[in-house]
Amino acid sequence: MDTLANMLATISNGLARKRPEVLVPFSNFKLKVAEILVKEGFLLKAEKKVIEGKPNILIGLKYKDRKPIISGMKKISKPGRRIYLKNKDLREILSGMGVTVVSTSLGVKTLYEARRQGLGGEVICKVW
């Protein structure tokens, strides 16, 4: 089961229902991806919360004029088909209006950070 795809679907469903926050089961990888989306301005917050003894990630959803900031999300690399790209092959999304999340040998980074550091890696998802 692809837990990151489940997190992206939960965020998308929460935005469609105009929820202020959503909860997803905790993993370090999902927390890093959510923190990147917070840093890039797509989410309000992403923090670890323990609820009834189980760790979760509390994700604050962001809206502008009652419309979601995130207009689309796409999982690129999937368990059945991993997508790896070299540094020179990484391309920006929507002329820089979106963000691409890449898992590199030095951790989870945005496309811009990976290119600046000369790193390639597994393309995880795109958010715009």
Give residue limits of the domains in the chain.
Answer: 3-68, 73-127
Interval 42-71 mean pLDDT = 96
Q: Tell me if the domain spanning 3-68 has CATH number 3.40.190.100.
A: no
Q: What percent of the chain has pLDDT over 70?
A: 95
Asked whether residue 94 carries a pLDDT value surpassing 70, the answer given is no
Q: Span 88-112, mean pLDDT?
A: 84
State residue 96's pLDDT score: 65
What is the rounded average pLDDT of the residues 88-113?
A: 85
pTM beyond 0.85: yes
DSSP H helices, 1-128, are: 3-16, 28-39, 111-116
Q: Give per-residue burial for 43-62: e unless 16+ CB within 10 Å, then b.
A: beebeeeeeeeeebbbbbbb
CA–CA dist 71, 42 (Å, integer): 10
Is residue 57 within 8 Å of 24, Cβ to Cβ?
A: yes
Q: Per-residue pLDDT for 77 more than 70?
A: yes
On the question of a common fold for 3-68 and 73-127, the answer reads: no
Could you say which architecture CATH assigns to the domain 73-127? 2-Layer Sandwich (3.30)
